[in-house]
């Protein structure tokens, strides 16, 4: 694993303790930190690397971290991007076995067990309860009392996301063209490219909830949200294989992105462990399924 984050100067001790980042054998990781106000000159463990750039935004900073991680030529399985103010806690979905570990260890073990293209956690401001409700409403799937630990998700907060090595190069660099207006717009790009390229393989891990109490000032002008979102979808659509270019999914997503995230059949897709991670493969799998069942 490689953890990639940004902070003003030096990473907070609270974060390194909560995520076990200070102990390399425990976190099984390297840590790369981009400082954007001042260089960090404090002691850091050998598996920590600090970069400095005072010209970055949220998205351009993550892009800088992404390119740096690639240049290391290390065979990381997951690239875990995170904000520097988060803390993780187990919730009621966590099993007794999970609670013998730390929340981040449970999340890492789940990543290795399932290998999603993108792994996300429950978030205090966008709880998994809404995803459970969507499964019930759209798919008639009752996840409340079920032992399932994960479900497909479309729109997720990028506060901490794990990207598989086979997926990350097809998702990054992030499109940051609207960040002078609103940093949140980059979230829309992220969710769009993941849904179009790896539909059903972005999974939310129910048992761990992430909290981030610190809210810094940054551009967040909301006007033009849907227009920007459609622009992202339009651009990602250019990479779709020609035979799927007019697929109804793309038309529905571009027509009303917010409605799509509330009503899509993506939530009903089966969760498959170690499913092959190939961009746009979901279109071919759907086509094959229709042939088997003779569906037009």
Mean pLDDT calculated for residue range 83-102:
95
Q: Are 274 and 115 in contact (CB under 8 A)?
A: yes
Looking at the predicted structure, is the pLDDT value of residue 217 above 60? no
Return the percentage of the chain with pLDDT > 90, whole number: 76
pLDDT digits (tens, 9 = 90+) for 256-277: 999 999 999 999 999 999 999 9
User: What is the rounded distance in angstroms from the CA atom of residue 28 to the CA atom of residue 275?
Assistant: 23
Question: What is the pLDDT of the chain when averaged over all its residues?
Answer: 90
Helix (H, G, I), strand (E, B) or coil at 285: helix
Question: Helix 248-255 and helix 225-237: axis angle, to 10°?
Answer: 160
pLDDT in the model for residue 221: 45
Binned at pLDDT 50, 70 and 90, residue 131 comes out as confident
Question: What is each CA distance from 283 to 68, 73, 138, 237, 242, in whole angstroms?
Answer: 32, 31, 20, 13, 11
Check if the beta carbon of residue 79 is closer than 8 Å to that of residue 168.
yes
pLDDT tens by residue, 37-84: 999 999 999 999 999 999 998 899 999 999 999 999 899 999 999 999
User: How many Å apart are CA 197 and CA 201, to the nearest integer?
Assistant: 9
State the pLDDT confidence band at 294, using cuts at 50, 70 and 90: low
Q: Are 228 and 188 in contact (CB under 8 A)?
A: yes
Give residue 291's pLDDT band: very low, low, confident or very high (50, 70, 90): low
Task: For 198-248, give the DSSP string.
Answer: HTT-EEEEEEEEEE--------B--TTHHHHHHHHHHHHHTTS-GGGTT-H
Quick one: pLDDT at residue 286? 86
Q: Does the pLDDT at position 94 exceed 70?
A: yes
User: Given a cut of 70, is residue 91 above it in pLDDT?
Assistant: yes
pLDDT at position 218 is 44
pLDDT at 184: 76
Q: How confident is the model at residue 179 (pLDDT cuts 50, 70, 90)?
A: confident
- Of all residues in the chain, the percent with pLDDT exceeding 70 is 91
Q: pLDDT band for position 223 (50/70/90)?
A: low
């Amino acid at each position: 694993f490689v953890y990639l984050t940004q902070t003003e100067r030096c990473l907070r001790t609270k974060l390194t303790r909560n995520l076990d980042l200070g102990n390399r054998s425990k976190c099984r990781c390297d840590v790369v930190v981009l400082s954007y106000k001042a260089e960090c000159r404090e002691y850091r463990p050998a598996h920590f690397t600090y970069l400095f750039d005072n010209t970055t935004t949220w998205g351009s900073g993550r892009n800088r971290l992404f390119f740096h991680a690639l240049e290391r030529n290390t065979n990381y399985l997951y690239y875990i991007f995170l904000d520097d103010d988060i803390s993780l806690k187990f919730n009621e979905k966590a099993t007794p076995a999970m609670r013998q570990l730390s929340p981040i260890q449970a999340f890492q073990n789940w990543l290795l067990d399932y290998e999603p293209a993108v792994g996300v956690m429950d978030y205090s401001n966008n709880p998994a309860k809404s995803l459970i409700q969507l499964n019930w409403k759209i798919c008639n799937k009752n996840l409340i009392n079920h032992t399932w630990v994960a479900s497909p998700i479309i729109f997720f907060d990028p506060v901490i996301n794990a990207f598989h090595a086979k997926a990350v190069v097809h998702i990054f660099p992030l499109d940051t063209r609207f960040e002078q207006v609103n940093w949140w717009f980059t979230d829309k790009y992220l969710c769009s490219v993941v849904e179009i390229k790896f539909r059903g393989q972005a999974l939310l891990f129910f048992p761990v909830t992430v909290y981030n109490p610190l809210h810094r000032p940054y551009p967040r002008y909301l006007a033009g949200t849907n227009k920007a979102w459609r622009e992202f979808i339009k651009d990602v659509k250019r990479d779709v294989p020609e035979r799927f270019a007019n697929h109804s999914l793309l038309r529905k997503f571009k027509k009303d992105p917010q409605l799509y995230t509330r009503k899509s059949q993506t939530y009903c897709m089966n969760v498959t462990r170690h499913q092959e991670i190939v961009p746009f493969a979901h279109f071919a799998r759907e086509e094959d399924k229709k042939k088997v069942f003779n569906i037009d």
